[in-house]
Amino acid sequence: MASSLLSRTLLGHRLIRFSSSLPQNPLIFSNLFNKREFRVQAESYHTTYKASGQHSRLMASAAIETRSNFSTQSLSTNDPVVSVDWLHANLREPDLKVLDASWYMPDEQRNPIQEYQQVAHIPGALFFDVDGISDRTTKLPHMLPSEEGFAVAVSALGIHNKDGLVVYDGKGIFSAARVWWVWVLDGGLPRWRSSGYDVESSASSDAILKASAASEAIEKVYRGQTAGPLTFQTKFQPHLVWTLDQVRRNIEEKTHQHIDARSKPRFDGAAPEPRKGIRSGHVPGSKCIPFPQMLDASQTLLPAEELKKRFNEEGISLERPVLTSCGTGVTACILALGLHRLGKTDVPVYDGSWTEWGAESDTPVDTSS
């Protein structure tokens, strides 16, 4: 792709830091809740950025505390995800907002906001357009926007730093991980519906207006125009967003274990890339753990022991730094989500991922026989 994108967003939980409804210990998503209520202390990870040579003012670094009365039902203390039962119990809380971050492979006729109007969604959900809230200076898809661009877009959605946020998508866990900055809904909309909870068949006029306003606001920022008041403030964390040059250096320096979330045939170079002009194969030295291996049949995040097994099988040491990538920086965030459950909260994502690497003429590419 966000309090962690976008995600990884675009914002992934790797990008933004600010004061929000978070735990007593300001670790990304860990120790979020006490038994009775949770104390909110300022520091969380979001998709955050810096633009126009200005730093957004932060309400974060000084530990500003508030109190919320969210139910602790069905919650683990170390998770970046919440259950549909927990969300249903807390859906009407005034300081809890839900974001629909559904994303599908685009075509030229696709209008994301119109698409959002036509599909069912969780009641009251706002729409976060993964493509629309993105960097306007590159042809690469849904790259992280500037710090200022992200802040104005999220402000236009009506989000404040004090809000608790749950992000979901229509596939289960897919693009939501890219936008993750506080919690991802485990199992997404499919799990919500299979649990018998109500959905809205059409979007409210308020949600549509806010989604349109977010897109317009970020366009203004990239044109150098004033884009309205800020209610959400950010601070970019560059160590959680890697560039092509950093990945290139890592081939020689090997400071980070590189995991690719694409399918094995694409990683091996046996299957073509879905985008034209992109070579097949993988970054030399990287390993393949397709993102579905992080999820069970119901599209919920696997238990910690199962996740450890997946990484161990590919020779990934949880004691060493890890870098993730994929096709366009979306499903790489699902690997980061799984690693977060295992206590690794500092996993960078290569934002340009294979779409950038495979399109360059001078980047080394390996294939598997």
**40: helix, coil or strand?**
strand
Residue closest to 167 by CA, chosen among 343, 8, 362, 327:
8
Based on the number of CB atoms within 10 Å of its own CB, is 341 exposed (0-12), middle (13-18) or buried (19 or more)? buried
Structure-block tokens of residue 54: 């200005």
326 is catalytic: yes
Q: Which residues pair with 301 in a beta bridge?
A: 295
Structure-block tokens of residue 175: 């693009």
How far apart are alpha carbons 11 and 167 in whole angstroms?
11
Question: Which of 154, 185, 289, 326 does the annotation list as catalytic?
Answer: 326
How far apart are alpha carbons 29 and 13 in whole angstroms?
9
Based on the number of CB atoms within 10 Å of its own CB, is 128 exposed (0-12), middle (13-18) or buried (19 or more)? buried
* DSSP single-letter state for residue 268: H
Q: Which residues pair with 38 in a beta bridge?
A: 68
Residues with catalytic roles: 326
